[in-house]
A and B are shown apart, each in its own frame.
Chain A
Amino acid sequence: MSVPTLYLDKIQQVAKVSEGKAKKLMETCVWCLVSSKHANGVSLDVIDDTATVPYLLSWPKQLDFEAINRSVNQDDATEEGAEAIALLVAVDRTDFTAVERATTSTGIDYWLGYKDNLNNPFKRAGRLEISGILKESDTNTVKARTKTKLAQTLPSDSTFSVYVVIVEFSRPYATMVMKK
């Protein structure tokens, strides 16, 4: 069976974001991967509570890396890079077909929804919590980050399902936990 590929230049096909935003997510993600010494086509393991599933990550060949280096804000890069992967992974590994956004008092949160809900974009939606780690260390682990993210989500009697995706770039791998 062939390994499925996540195309970083196809974020706009799943997430309702502007072309500029989709490009920025892709470029930042590529910056995180290349900084971690990975080449185009690198394999990414996605671990959830049932299995470990391998994916390949692909981006366009003609990217201008000098421009990306200049434009990437390194403080935010890991989070944005993780968003790019998480949006693609979440839609691929669930029944959802689209990613929505909404504003909170502290930032923007992501939701999983359906492309056909044009005037009711959050109908049957699920929440998506994302975080990124450039290189896991003793003091900064995927497991601890998952715990932090879960603590920020709502109590277990939530109306919406909650998915937490954490992306680690040095290996690279991602974990996906559904809040029960």
Chain B
Amino acid sequence: MLKTFPKGGVHPEEGKYSANSPIETLPLPKTVYIPIAQHIGAPSKPMVAKGDKVKVGDKIAESLGFVSANIHSSVSGTVAKIEDILDSTGYKRPCIVIDVEGDDWNENIDRSADLKKEIGLSDKEIIQRINESGIVGLGGATFPSHVKLSVPDGKKIDVLIINGVECEPYLTSDHRLMLEKAEEMLVGIQILMKALGVNLAMIGIENNKPDAINHLKELVQNYPGIEVHPLKVQYPQGGEKQLIKALINREVPSGGLPLNVGAVVHNVGTAYAVYEAIQKNKPLFERVVTVTGKSVKKPSNFIVRVGTPVSNLIEAAGGLPEDTGKIINGGPMMGKAINSLEVPVVKGTSGILIMPEDISSRKKQSTCIRCAKCVSVCPQGLEPYLLAKLAKLEKFDKLEAGGVMDCIECGSCAYTCPAGLPLLDYIRLGKARVSKIIRSRKQ
């Protein structure tokens, strides 16, 4: 029997149209818009001004504080301005706008394609370099990676979990990465293992990617300590807490972090970025992005420079289909619709999903009949119908008692609700308010 998490979960239509499209390099855009807030935590502080010349890989914004990340230029050219641009948050936020001139890389970056296996740096140096390279979690949450690697004193980590699940329907960027950059990724995992001082790494992959599982199983024979585990196809298998439960059968306590149970989870994309940062001295300024959808002419996986407008990606994938109803940044379950085609790709953009009109609007709403389908699919064991109602009524004390802060916002409840109720919308609103209350209580 395949491993999985014990409660809840759904299985939406997979729609992995781009699974067989090899990763292509997207041509350079004319202008890039690099937001200074691409990660969870404090926004970075721009270090360049209008008129400055930058090279690919130059640091253009530095992190402010521990939970923050550096940002590097993804192109070479001239800084045109620092202006508020509509980004994937749906709001205008400060972006560094760079006009592209040629493709002139910083001299320190090793651009050769050879695989470099020896790890020359010590654990402290690795974490330092990861911090310097601006690496954040590439699974979508964009949490600065060096924070996860800096284990507080007194905590013991015994396993590194690598998330290759890609449980979001449609998306295939991690899948392609595991097929095409497997060796690099495995070296990246070894680097992460060294930084954490652990001897065991487990790669969890959903069973709908047999080619990736077999490929990696073959390769890990040369990499001691790394194991590959196929997992049941069930959303949200790739949720951090669900993955830990499925692989090592430990439960992250309410309000706790994976390191409370001795585990650290990183995405396969992050592992690859770590390899490039440590072995090739290349900061994080490009990533693999899936461009897909039912009516997209050429569903593809591109290596894209951060800051490239989404319209360039759609153009390269055969143009915007006529029946487009909605464009989503991310997957269909947790992604968010964007309201402009000029929104730039950021470090957390795993895919651009173009939904045809007939399936892009929500179900008609009716009344909750307490069927409890949402309760049975909640992977966190919460009562979504109740939390949504409490959030609507602004009963924040009861919301907190009901465990709203444990919600991982996977959207299984809203997906399954036969009444088409916007459960997650209200829960997310309530969660934001409750977390505000908790923060002010701590002060």
User: Is the pairing of A and B real?
Assistant: no
Q: Give A contacts to B, CB under 8 Å.
A: none
